[in-house]
Structure 1
Amino acid sequence: MPSLPLAAPQIQTFGGFHIRRRRLFSPTTGKTLIIPLDHAITMGPAGGLENPRTVIEAAVGGKADAVMLRPGLVHSLAVPGAERLGVIMALTGRLATGVDHVLLNTVEYAAAHAADAVCGEFKFGSPGDLENARVIAALAERAHELGLPVLVTVYSRPEAVRQLGAGAYAHACRIAEEIGADFIKTSLPDDEDIIRQCVESTSVPIVLAGGPPDASTELTDFLGRAVRLGIGGAAIGRRAWAADKPVEAVRDLVTAVHGDRFDD
């Protein structure tokens, strides 16, 4: 008996999922530069986050590919040119204390607010990592039912690195993929072997968060080298909107991720 066509994967590949995903990644390079501005519920409206619209303006002016924010800040997208930005909505979070995230908004709410993708976060090695992973797995299932790509943010806690060594970074990325990530946001050290291992251990794009922990390493140099090793882009918040010249900072990051295609 001939097998039946797999309708669900076809819908995901050619329907809303594909349309939304292509708004997040450059059709020219296949990479992405995301400007997150979801930090204020933890760090407060300070350090460049006082006015979310100015962050959106910097993302537009610097030609970022996407922004990540929370559903309540959708009004900040009423900026000329923001219609070309991909929109990722962070649905998990924490306040000023603690480590682990909880689910704050639903996938349905994000979809109703024109999200192109949704994001959930967990820390590998934290006390609540298993429960957070379960929450994100359920979030990913629902998002895929609605045709929404899923970004999973995962950070390897020092406890995990002490226990597992350098392999903790690739382990964390693999967990993110296996619970439903279509792309992964993580922080990695400036170590080619670790970056290469993470890329080779997953089949979805990895975007780097925040830059190298070593302040002596130039962020744009680090990103350029990581992209050449197969990294799929970057998600940089503080080092963009807290810069003295945010538009120029975003443009420099875009060039580091995509090469010289925006040097016009």
Structure 2
Amino acid sequence: MSEIGKKIRLERIMDRESRNMVIIPMDHGISMGPVRGIVNLAEMVNRVADGGANAVLLQKGMAKHGHRGYGRDIGLIIHMSASTSLGPDPNDKVQVCTVEEAIKMGADAVSVHVNIGSVTESKQLKKLGDVAEFCDYWGMPLIAMMYPRGKDIKNSNDAELVAHVARVGAELG
């Protein structure tokens, strides 16, 4: 486990005084198609950096097109999961990037999306566990984006359900 690597990367995406983070997700193009406002990625990255954001969260392909905007210093978080709204099961998230790829791109952290309650929940949980192991090995911070989603989820905002889903993410790394 590389704790110093994780510490250095976390310092790049948080305010060193307050230890707060403002992360702007810009990864929704895969699931939703082109998103108005982030067509010119470099310009939008500059705007959120000027507004005080510490990091942007992108898919690997978009990171190559302007995560630093026009030179602004802002952290990079690579989202490693994807599905589209056009597929047979939008809740079936698959891994589309590796921790090693994210490191090569200069990422400061990675994120994985898991839908608890989905038909493919067990596969997604296994993948989160695998990614957590690689993150520990490489000293890469991991954000587990945990959501209660599936055909049997009646109220995804139920406090007990949200607490359970959050606990699953914490338990797996």
- Give me the TM-score of the superposition, normalised by structure 1: 0.59
Contact 1:155/1:172 (CA < 8 Å) preserved in 2?
yes
Distance 1:161 1:34 in 2: 29
Q: Which runs of 4+ in 1 moved over 3 A?
A: 158-163
Contact 1:160/1:168 (CA < 8 Å) preserved in 2?
no
Q: Deviations over 1:184-229 (max 9, x none)?
A: xxxxxxxxxxxxxxxxxxxxxxxxxxxxxxxxxxxxxxxxxxxxxx
Answering whether residue 57 of structure 2 is matched by residue 68 of structure 1, we say: yes
Contact 1:117/1:148 (CA < 8 Å) preserved in 2?
yes
Q: For residue 21 of structure 1, what is the aligned residue in structure 2?
A: 10
SS at match of 1:56: helix
Equivalent positions of 1:107-186 (< 5 A) are: 107-157=99-149, 159-160=152-153, 165-180=158-173
C-alpha displacement at 1:128, in angstroms?
1.3
Residue 71 and residue 168 in structure 1: after superposition, are their counterparts in 2 closer, same or farther (change >3 A)?
same
Question: Greater share of helix residues, 1 or 2?
Answer: 1
**Equivalent residue pairs, number:** 167
Q: CA RMSD in A?
A: 1.9
Structure 1, unmatched stretches of 5+, are 1-7, 181-264
Structure number with bigger Rg: 1
C-alpha displacement at 1:162, in angstroms?
5.1
Contact 2:67/2:76 (CA < 8 Å) preserved in 1?
no
- The percentage of counterpart residues that share the same residue type is 29
Q: Deviations over 1:124-181 (max 9, x none)?
A: 2111112111101101110110110000101123734559x5311111111001111x
- Give me the TM-score of the superposition, normalised by structure 2: 0.88
Q: For residue 37 of structure 2, what is the aligned residue in structure 1?
A: 48
SS at match of 1:22: helix
Letter in 2 for 1:147: G
Structure 2, unmatched stretches of 5+, are none
Letter in 2 for 1:146: W
Contact 1:120/1:151 (CA < 8 Å) preserved in 2?
yes
C-alpha displacement at 1:73, in angstroms?
1.9
C-alpha displacement at 1:23, in angstroms?
1.4
